[in-house]
Structure 1
Amino acid sequence: MSRRGIPLIIDEAWGPHFAFHPDMPVAAIRRGADISVGSIHKTMAGLEQASFMLLKSELIAPDRFNICYDLFETTSPSGLILASIDATRRQFAQEGEELLQKTLDLARYVREKIAAMDGFRVMGREVLNGDSRHSMDETKVLVDIGGLGVSGYEAEDWLIRNKKLTLGLSDDRRLLIIFTVGTDRKSTEELLSSLEDMAKWAGDGRSDKKGLRPQIPRLRDLEAEQALTPAEGFFARSTRVALDEAAGRIAAEMLSPYPPGIPRIIPGQRITDAQVRYMRISMELGAFPYDASDLELETVRVVA
């Protein structure tokens, strides 16, 4: 894109650590991005909200960038957050590779242990294709638990309620486990023990959704006509209809089942049967309707 005169801005929120270890994917700014955004509170050691933007561009002048940034920056930044950014920068500049090597060792150990458990399938490079197979972040362990007969949503909820254990994300059949420099051997052993207990619980048939295997529509089946622009759809006169009766109507709000929180319906789209089915199944499996005005998702706002 840069060769065509278009600045490339990469949201690298979950990859601010990439530049500090040779086994990590190549950082976006080193791949030619003009701007990259990283959240060091996610995978490094900054306080919550600690993030940064990197600029390396022949298309964007630094002074122009600073002017635009100042238009949106708070006039009352947190000194604690800024200090944590600087401390993390120093820590990773001096010890980043060593810290990440320990993190990778733990992640690889857990990956191997989970792969040996009945009902679990650890997803690795074999499920990737194209260039992505060369850019896998091994600190993120994706586990398919379809063999246990429970949804990822329900499994994560059980782990939170019974083990006080939170994971990165979950969906209808997967759990995402994220390792950071704050992960230690004790917490990994607790994780493995908790997963074994969760598998026993699922095997005992105590899950409300045991054996539930709804057919979630494929992503390509969720494509929809953009009948209006998002702004036109959002600001249009609207009414509320039952979700099950919304197919064919134009959405006036955004619906993003969480996890992962990616919009599946946006304002201005003509809602399809597949989208309605996707939202309904996601709710049944335990997703939260992020962005919805009706948090039970019995109704949805549409253009009147």
Structure 2
Amino acid sequence: MPTDPRGLRADAPLLDAWLRFHESPPTPFTIPGHKQRTDLVGDVVAGDVPLYAGLDTMKLSTGVLADAESRAARLWGADVCRFSTGGATHANQAVALAVADDGDTVVVSRTLHRSMLLGLVLAGLTPVWVRPEVDPATGLPLGVAPETVRRALVAHPEARAVFVGDPSYVGTVGDVAGLAEAAHEHDVPLVVDAAWSAHFGFHPDLPRHALQLGADAMVTSAHKTLPAWSQAAIILARTERIDPARFEAGVEATATTSPAGAILASTDAARALLERDGEELLGAAMAATRSARDRLRAVPGLTVLDGPQVDPLKLTVVLSASGADGNAVEQDLLAAGLPVESADRDVLVAVVSLADTAATLTALTDAVVASVAQHRGPARAVVGPAAYGVRSEPVTVVPPRRAFFAAAETVPIAEAVGRTSAELVAPYPPGIPVLAPGERVTEETLRALEHARAAGIRIAYAADPTLATLRVTAG
């Protein structure tokens, strides 16, 4: 029988509904087809309770989802909130549909995840790309400068919104307040993909979250740094510059009509935990992360991202000066049962959440220190990884939607130079596009992709992941 070990159900209506379902299990004549039996395909379906005729009635007569979403809106200071069972991917695409019309122009940070670029495809929006500042010591992205956004909005007064990702995948934090000010000077909303920072704003040593800093909409993942099921995400918005009816329509147009109740209940439970115990749990996790950073920083050749502009729960290590290959270090970590979020030749990224403890961080640190000592070699120059959106300005030839759905042909990669890409190509993780539909393929683009592949990063979403060929618009 499922339990509520931290006593959250009184403040988490979806969690309470999920527990009540198990306490008085029905004999359902509704979907899902496993009918709560685990003797057919096993425990893989255990806990899978639907929203409809599960957490609520088929007619949603008890309103537990709306209650839970309103509690989250109050906690984050939003006017409207929706829970997503499709992750930040669904949430980003919903917001793209909500803020602008087919054919409109929007200002977009190049460090955004491929889900937002495909949101531009779905909504028919044309991006004006803005690039982040780059840390010269590591080659990794910092935030997008507010002045960069100002210049883009002056050059494109027709722009309807500004989209940025903050914090970055590697944990660097930008000037969200300055970005909000720049967007609002032109009376357009600032939308922040804050997938990696659901914990921001809930401890005095953490950065404030995007809505506290003036953003109009924020997407965050409850499953990345909070203890929710995979695919759990939250979409929050203020309605001064975002139409609540369009916001709702964008969410519903892209959401499943059979949402998983367990994902929703875990989102609600994570919100309640964050509200009640977040400061205590986050404080302990940050203290353990600080200790891990201090120890790793003491290892010759390792650079550890740190400081006020870095997420205190992100552990990003640059290996270049040690000569160790991050791919070899990753294999050692996997053998030790310690997988990390991302590893390439030069950079390791470990995600720490409020579920981590001093013991888990010590185990990871011990393994990294030992592996680097084993794999040391000649120091390498710092090269900005193509995976993190730090290549030169892309050239958009046609809107992404038009290229994505255009007639296309497959050509040898060398013959693609000068042509218009019909596909999205991104090193994964983190899934930031190096090449997007509608962009001109250049020699620099191909060098960036080859650099990522040579560094041991998987090339994702391309029709030909070997990059021997590329799909380009016909003619």
TM range, smaller chain: 0.7 to 0.9
Q: CA deviation at 1:3?
A: 5.1
Q: What is aligned with 1:74?
A: 256
Return 84-93 or 60-69, whichever deviates more: 60-69
Distance in 2 between residues matched to 1:24 and 1:30, nearest whole Å: 12
- Letter of the aligned partner of 2:193 in structure 1? D
Q: What is aligned with 1:10?
A: 192
SS at match of 2:201: helix
Superposed CA RMSD: 2.5
Question: Which of the residues 302, 321, 330 maps onto 1:156?
Answer: 330
Q: Structure 1: any 5+ residue segments left out of the alignment?
A: 126-133
SS at match of 2:431: coil
Q: CA separation of 1:57/1:104 partners in 2, compared to 1, >3 Å: closer, same or farther?
A: same
Distance in 2 between residues matched to 1:61 and 1:104, nearest whole Å: 37
> Are the aligned partners of 1:2 and 1:59 in contact in 2 as well (CA < 8 Å)?
no
Q: Does 1:199 align with 2:368?
A: no
Distance in 1 between residues matched to 2:318 and 2:454, nearest whole Å: 19
Q: What is aligned with 1:94?
A: 276
Q: Deviations over 1:227-249 (max 9, x none)?
A: 22223323333322232443222
Q: Deviations over 1:173-213 (max 9, x none)?
A: 1112221111122221211221122113313x7xxxx8776
- Letter of the aligned partner of 2:361 in structure 1? T
Q: Does 1:25 align with 2:207?
A: yes
Bigger fraction of residues in helix? 1
> Are the aligned partners of 1:246 and 1:276 in contact in 2 as well (CA < 8 Å)?
no
Q: What is aligned with 1:184?
A: 357
> Are the aligned partners of 1:170 and 1:260 in contact in 2 as well (CA < 8 Å)?
no
SS at match of 1:261: coil
Q: Does 1:114 align with 2:284?
A: no
Return 71-80 or 101-110, whichever deviates more: 71-80
Q: Does 1:42 align with 2:224?
A: yes
Q: What is aligned with 2:436?
A: 266
SS at match of 2:218: strand
Q: What is aligned with 1:235?
A: 405
Q: What is aligned with 1:293?
A: 463
Q: CA deviation at 1:47?
A: 0.9
Q: CA separation of 1:58/1:239 partners in 2, compared to 1, >3 Å: closer, same or farther?
A: closer
Q: Does 1:257 align with 2:427?
A: yes
Q: CA separation of 1:115/1:40 partners in 2, compared to 1, >3 Å: closer, same or farther?
A: same
Q: CA deviation at 1:12?
A: 1.0
Return 30-39 or 54-63, whichever deviates more: 54-63
TM-score (normalizing by structure 2): 0.56
Question: Which of the residues 342, 367, 384 maps onto 1:169?
Answer: 342
Distance in 2 between residues matched to 1:240 and 1:61, nearest whole Å: 41
Q: CA separation of 1:109/1:71 partners in 2, compared to 1, >3 Å: closer, same or farther?
A: same
Q: Deviations over 1:103-141 (max 9, x none)?
A: 11001000000011122121223xxxxxxxx54311112
Return 165-174 or 186-195, whichever deviates more: 165-174
Q: Greater RCO between the two (CA within 8 Å, min separation 6)?
A: 2
After superposing on structure 2, the runs of 4+ consecutive aligned residues of structure 1 that deviate more than 4 Å are 210-221
Return 134-143 or 91-100, whichever deviates more: 134-143
Q: What is aligned with 1:140?
A: 314
> Are the aligned partners of 2:320 and 2:382 in contact in 1 as well (CA < 8 Å)?
no
Q: What is aligned with 2:448?
A: 278
Q: CA separation of 1:8/1:223 partners in 2, compared to 1, >3 Å: closer, same or farther?
A: closer
Q: CA deviation at 1:89?
A: 1.3
> Are the aligned partners of 1:254 and 1:267 in contact in 2 as well (CA < 8 Å)?
yes
> Are the aligned partners of 2:321 and 2:380 in contact in 1 as well (CA < 8 Å)?
no
Q: CA separation of 1:282/1:70 partners in 2, compared to 1, >3 Å: closer, same or farther?
A: closer
- Alignment: residue pair count: 290
Q: CA deviation at 1:282?
A: 1.4
- Letter of the aligned partner of 2:281 in structure 1? L
Q: Deviations over 1:145-186 (max 9, x none)?
A: 0123244344334422x2222212234411122211111222
Distance in 2 between residues matched to 1:201 and 1:244, nearest whole Å: 39
SS at match of 2:223: helix
- Letter of the aligned partner of 1:170 in structure 2? A
Q: CA deviation at 1:277?
A: 1.1
Q: What is aligned with 2:121?
A: none
Identity of aligned residues (%): 33
Distance in 2 between residues matched to 1:37 and 1:59, nearest whole Å: 16
- Letter of the aligned partner of 1:113 in structure 2? R
Q: Mapping of 1:118-129 within 5 angstroms?
A: 118-125=300-307
- Letter of the aligned partner of 1:185 in structure 2? A
Q: Structure 2: any 5+ residue segments left out of the alignment?
A: 1-182
Distance in 2 between residues matched to 1:217 and 1:47, nearest whole Å: 30
> Are the aligned partners of 2:320 and 2:346 in contact in 1 as well (CA < 8 Å)?
yes
Q: CA separation of 1:137/1:213 partners in 2, compared to 1, >3 Å: closer, same or farther?
A: closer
Distance in 1 between residues matched to 2:255 and 2:391, nearest whole Å: 39
